[in-house]
Amino acid sequence: MDLVVDVGNTFVKIAVFEDDNIIFHQKHSEINASIIFEIKNKFPIKRAIISSVRNNEAEISAIFKKFNISLYWLNHKMNFPFKINYKTPQTLGLDRLAAVAGALVKFPNNNLLVIDMGTCITFDFVDESLTYLGGSIAPGFEMRFKALHHFTQKLPQVNYENQPLKLIGDSTENSIISGVYNGLKYEILGMISAYEQQYKDIKIVLTGGDFKLFDLEVKNRIFADDFLVLRGLQQILILNEEN
């Protein structure tokens, strides 16, 4: 069994894989020895892979060494199930690469656009020849609310909690919600349209903590997966164990 850990800006997502199936998953604000101890007691974990956007490698490595788990840290020099054609691969977010690897499990020979709606909104594209070309990064949903408050003197901090959405805001709060929500929704749909005009038969896969807040025609032409990055990490782990 494999242990897969995605340490993001806000949450730490953990999954246990048996073959290609997730049999256990959790989400925490941080990772510590007690969490790994509980998982190790439940499952015969022998190897693990971690992707982290935080500077905590030494601390986490010590935890896994204590429990005798072979640990891989995702890095740009590892083998990936695609070729990376990016001018600065050393600056490329590893979680972006893992998300693409996860999407390729379902769509292995397609033009593929992966959209991750987390702290930031990332778009990542790999073509049908399995070449990763890059994408784009934009402020995430919550970040936009915070920016409006931070960079102005009078606009309030608005916390969106699935309030009724109005196209025409009838108060300052509702106007902010309308602007941020609709602005992001149509930004994403516009980006999808631009990719579809340039590439034929493109598959679109959506993930991230905020995608469920938006009506983006998921059932019709956009595929959604909560565990895309975790699936990708597991595939990268298998690929590098084999090599």
Q: In terms of DSSP H, where are the helices of the chain?
A: 33-42, 57-66, 94-106, 141-150, 172-198, 228-242
CA distance 211 to 213: 5
Characterize the bridge pairing of strands 2-7 and 47-52: parallel
Six-digit token string for 75: 């890095």
The torsion region of residue 74 among left (phi > 0), alpha (psi -120 to 50) and beta comes to beta
Residues shown for the chain: 243
Q: Is 95 a catalytic residue?
A: yes
Cross-strand bridge partners of residue 202? 111
Q: What is the DSSP string of 27-63?
A: EESS--HHHHHHHHHHS---EEEEEESSS-HHHHHHH
Residue of 6, 95, 124, 225 marked catalytic: 95
- Identify whether the C-beta of residue 85 lies closer than 8 Å to the C-beta of residue 125: no
DSSP character for 213?
G
- Give the catalytic positions in this structure: 95
